[in-house]
A = this chain, B = another copy of it.
Amino acid sequence: MKIYLAGPDVFLPDALTIGQRKVAICARYGLIGLYPLDTPVDRNAESASLAIFKNNQEMMDSSDAIIANLTPFRGAGADPGTVYELGYMAGRQKLCLGYSNDPRLYAERVRDFTQVTSHEDRLVDRDGLTVEDFALADNLMTIHGLDLHGRPLIVPKQAPSDLWHDFSAFEVCVRVAAERLKQP
């Protein structure tokens, strides 16, 4: 059983080590983790980004499930590249799992980036755009995508001291994947 390991982990300085740790945790549960950086790509080639895309899509197509790291990335919500992959796997009818190491709600987090006020029964940002306020951890497509194509977002009760190197919530996803995928 193969699991596609999605997330902004690839943007961290120690991205390769993180991938190795995640793959090792998968192996302990009898699963094969596929990590985007496992396949070498010449990042200076003109078509480097396209090669990365194709490689990621092939890995997703060959996987039985996705575990998406949805910890907020450079903004109030999850990394959009990871969210694309979650949507893609939902569309492909694969098992969709995800975690976030930030237990706050989306509407709370938006306040870190813009002024939010109440206006006629809704929250709006500085530009007058509605702030989704359904007491969810992220936008409703991402959150309910998990609910209906896998299981609800895994979130720790308290944020770990190191958001990017704590793999407890990730491991819960791996355990769920192992249970679900090995069902007869």
Contacts and interface: CB of A to CB of B under 8 A. Distances in A.
Interface stretch (A23-31, A68-76, A154-162): A68-76
Contacts of A113: 74-75, 113
A76 B74 contact: yes
Interface in A90-139: 90-92, 110, 113-114, 124-125, 127-132, 134, 136, 138-139
Interface string A6-36: 0010111101000000000000000000000
Nearest to A89: B91
Contacts of A139: 79-81, 84
Given A87-B91, A91-B92, A92-B91, A80 B129 contact: no
Contacts of A89: 87, 91
A88 B144 CA distance: 13
B90 A88 contact: yes
B74 A142 contact: no
Given A74-B75, A81-B132, 16 more contacts: A12-B129, A15-B130, A49-B134, A50-B144, A50-B147, A53-B141, A53-B144, A56-B141, A74-B125, A78-B80, A79-B139, A80-B138, A81-B141, A88-B90, A91-B92, A92-B92
10 contacts: A11-B129, A49-B140, A54-B144, A80-B80, A81-B139, A81-B141, A84-B90, A84-B145, A86-B87, A87-B87
